[in-house]
Amino acid sequence: MTRQGARRIGAFVQWREWNGEIVAYNDRTGDTHHFADLAAWMFRLLATRAASEDAIAAAAASEIELPAAIDRAAAIARTLDLFARLDLIEAA
Protein backbone atom coordinates (compact mmCIF):
# COMPACT_ATOMS: atom_id res chain seq x y z
CA MET A 1 0.00 0.00 0.00
CA THR A 2 1.59 3.31 -1.00
CA ARG A 3 1.43 6.25 1.33
CA GLN A 4 -0.20 8.42 -1.34
CA GLY A 5 -2.88 5.96 -2.41
CA ALA A 6 -6.45 6.35 -1.22
CA ARG A 7 -7.36 4.20 1.73
CA ARG A 8 -10.44 3.50 3.71
CA ILE A 9 -11.53 1.59 6.78
CA GLY A 10 -12.21 -2.01 5.82
CA ALA A 11 -15.74 -3.33 5.56
CA PHE A 12 -14.71 -5.97 8.11
CA VAL A 13 -14.54 -3.27 10.81
CA GLN A 14 -17.62 -2.49 12.91
CA TRP A 15 -17.61 0.77 14.77
CA ARG A 16 -19.64 3.11 16.94
CA GLU A 17 -19.15 6.72 17.88
CA TRP A 18 -20.13 8.56 21.03
CA ASN A 19 -19.17 12.17 21.76
CA GLY A 20 -16.40 12.19 19.21
CA GLU A 21 -14.80 8.98 20.44
CA ILE A 22 -14.84 5.78 18.44
CA VAL A 23 -14.75 2.11 19.34
CA ALA A 24 -14.00 -0.25 16.49
CA TYR A 25 -14.06 -4.01 16.24
CA ASN A 26 -11.77 -5.64 13.68
CA ASP A 27 -13.33 -8.90 12.56
CA ARG A 28 -10.04 -9.98 10.99
CA THR A 29 -8.00 -9.74 14.17
CA GLY A 30 -10.69 -9.97 16.83
CA ASP A 31 -9.31 -6.81 18.44
CA THR A 32 -11.34 -3.88 19.73
CA HIS A 33 -9.88 -0.38 19.62
CA HIS A 34 -10.70 3.01 21.11
CA PHE A 35 -9.85 6.22 19.28
CA ALA A 36 -10.20 9.84 20.32
CA ASP A 37 -9.19 13.26 19.00
CA LEU A 38 -7.37 13.21 15.66
CA ALA A 39 -7.48 9.41 15.39
CA ALA A 40 -11.25 9.38 15.88
CA TRP A 41 -11.69 12.13 13.31
CA MET A 42 -9.49 10.29 10.77
CA PHE A 43 -11.23 7.00 11.47
CA ARG A 44 -14.64 8.54 10.81
CA LEU A 45 -13.38 10.17 7.61
CA LEU A 46 -11.91 6.92 6.29
CA ALA A 47 -14.96 4.94 7.35
CA THR A 48 -17.23 7.17 5.30
CA ARG A 49 -15.01 7.65 2.22
CA ALA A 50 -11.65 6.67 0.83
CA ALA A 51 -8.95 9.33 1.06
CA SER A 52 -5.24 9.72 0.37
CA GLU A 53 -2.86 11.13 2.93
CA ASP A 54 -2.88 14.47 1.08
CA ALA A 55 -6.66 14.51 1.00
CA ILE A 56 -6.79 13.76 4.72
CA ALA A 57 -4.37 16.60 5.39
CA ALA A 58 -6.44 19.00 3.29
CA ALA A 59 -9.64 18.03 5.09
CA ALA A 60 -7.97 18.24 8.48
CA ALA A 61 -6.74 21.77 7.77
CA SER A 62 -10.31 22.97 7.47
CA GLU A 63 -12.15 20.65 9.83
CA ILE A 64 -10.07 19.96 12.91
CA GLU A 65 -8.04 22.09 15.27
CA LEU A 66 -4.91 20.66 16.78
CA PRO A 67 -2.65 22.14 19.46
CA ALA A 68 -0.03 24.38 17.90
CA ALA A 69 2.78 22.14 19.11
CA ILE A 70 1.55 19.23 17.01
CA ASP A 71 2.90 18.79 13.48
CA ARG A 72 -0.33 18.05 11.62
CA ALA A 73 1.24 16.18 8.70
CA ALA A 74 3.37 14.03 10.98
CA ALA A 75 0.41 13.26 13.24
CA ILE A 76 -1.67 12.20 10.25
CA ALA A 77 1.13 9.99 8.97
CA ARG A 78 1.58 8.38 12.39
CA THR A 79 -2.14 7.74 12.69
CA LEU A 80 -2.31 6.17 9.24
CA ASP A 81 0.62 3.95 10.21
CA LEU A 82 -1.25 2.98 13.35
CA PHE A 83 -4.39 2.10 11.39
CA ALA A 84 -2.25 0.02 9.01
CA ARG A 85 -0.49 -1.80 11.86
CA LEU A 86 -3.89 -2.58 13.36
CA ASP A 87 -5.03 -3.89 9.99
CA LEU A 88 -7.97 -1.51 9.94
CA ILE A 89 -7.45 0.09 6.52
CA GLU A 90 -7.25 -1.18 3.00
CA ALA A 91 -6.49 0.33 -0.38
CA ALA A 92 -9.52 1.86 -2.04
Partner 1 sequence: MTALALRFGPFAARLETSFAPLIAGLRLLYPPRAFAEESGFCDFRVAVAPGRGAHRWFRPQARFLLDGESPFKPLPADQALPMFEWGLNFAIAAQAHQYLVVHAAAIERGGRVAILPGAPGAGKSTLTAALVRRGWRLLSDELALIRPADRRVVPLARPVNLKNASIALMRGYAPDAVFSAETHDTAKGTVALMRAPDESMARSDEAAPVGWIVFPRWQPDAPPRLEPWSRAAGLMEIAHNAMNYSLHGAAGFALLADIFAASGCYRFTYGNLDDAVAAFAALASGAES
Per rule CB under 8 A, is residue 16 in the interface with partner 1? yes
Per rule CB under 8 A, is residue 61 in the interface with partner 1? no
Query: Can you name the residues that pair with 26 across neighbouring β-strands?
Result: 13
User: Which residues, 73 to 92, sit near partner 1 by CB under 8 A?
Assistant: none
- Contacting partner 1 (CB under 8 A), which of 4, 5, 32, 48? 32
How is 27-89 classified by DSSP, letter by letter?
A: TTT--EEEE-HHHHHHHHHHHHS-B-HHHHHHHHHHH----TTS-HHHHHHHHHHHHHHTT-E
Residues engaged in binding partner 1 (CB under 8 A): 14, 16-19, 21-23, 25, 27, 30, 32, 34, 36
